[in-house]
Amino acid sequence: MSARAPGQAAPLAPGAVSGDEALPDVTLADGSVSSGNVRITLALAPQPPVAFAKTRVRVRTEVNGSLAVLEGGTISFEMTMPMGDHRYSLVAGQNGWQEADVALPRCMSGNRRWYATVEGTVAGQPRSARFRLDLASPE
Ligand SMILES: [Cu+2]
């Protein structure tokens, strides 16, 4: 059931994240964050995502290993510097995944690191999960 690539760090318990490097990296592989009995998986296509190009974002939510719905699901992207508002609503996709089509700009500083935050409500409880990704430059 794991979408995690071999060698990728396991998600940390809430409160254990000491730095952004500890966030699951979804640049080249799907990543998951577990909190209690809720697991949120984020998958990007293509891997790696490319600046200015369409990236298909897919989110899968599980409760005790069973597919669940992230109500009012959104995904937002940010850098450590202000790069504008990049928040998208997740809509129902195939096989229980929730999706958004996203295009992120390339940072003129050369920094490629973005952070993605998935938010929504699962069984009446607000939930969020953070991930990191490195945007490839367009050819
Ligand atoms: Cu920038």
- Rounded mean pLDDT of the chain? 89
Whichever domain contains 64, its CATH number is 2.60.40.10
Report pLDDT for 139.
Answer: 77
Report pLDDT for 19.
Answer: 62
Report pLDDT for 17.
Answer: 41
Among residues 134, 116, 117, which one has the least CA distance to residue 51? 134
By mean pLDDT, which of 3-12, 26-35, 71-80 is the weakest?
A: 3-12
Q: How far is the CA of 104 from the centre of ligand 1 (A)?
A: 11
Confidence of residue 111 (pLDDT cuts 50, 70, 90): very high
Amino acid at 124: G
Q: How far is the CA of 132 from the centre of ligand 1 (A)?
A: 16
pTM of the entire structure?
Answer: 0.85
Q: How far is the CA of 134 from the centre of ligand 1 (A)?
A: 13
- Is 7 a member of any domain? no
In sequence order, what E strands does the chain have?
31-35, 38-45, 55-63, 66-68, 71-78, 87-89, 91-92, 98-102, 113-122, 125-134
- Is 99 a member of any domain? yes
Among residues 53, 51, 49, which one has the least CA distance to residue 31? 49
Amino acid at 98: Q
Name the residue range of residue 130's domain. Answer: 20-134
Number of domains in the chain: 1
Confidence of residue 10 (pLDDT cuts 50, 70, 90): very low
Q: How far is the CA of 80 from the centre of ligand 1 (A)?
A: 8
Q: How far is the CA of 13 from the centre of ligand 1 (A)?
A: 30
Q: How far is the CA of 115 from the centre of ligand 1 (A)?
A: 13
Tell me the pLDDT tens digit for each residue of 50-81: 999 999 999 999 999 999 999 999 999 999 99
- Is 12 a member of any domain? no
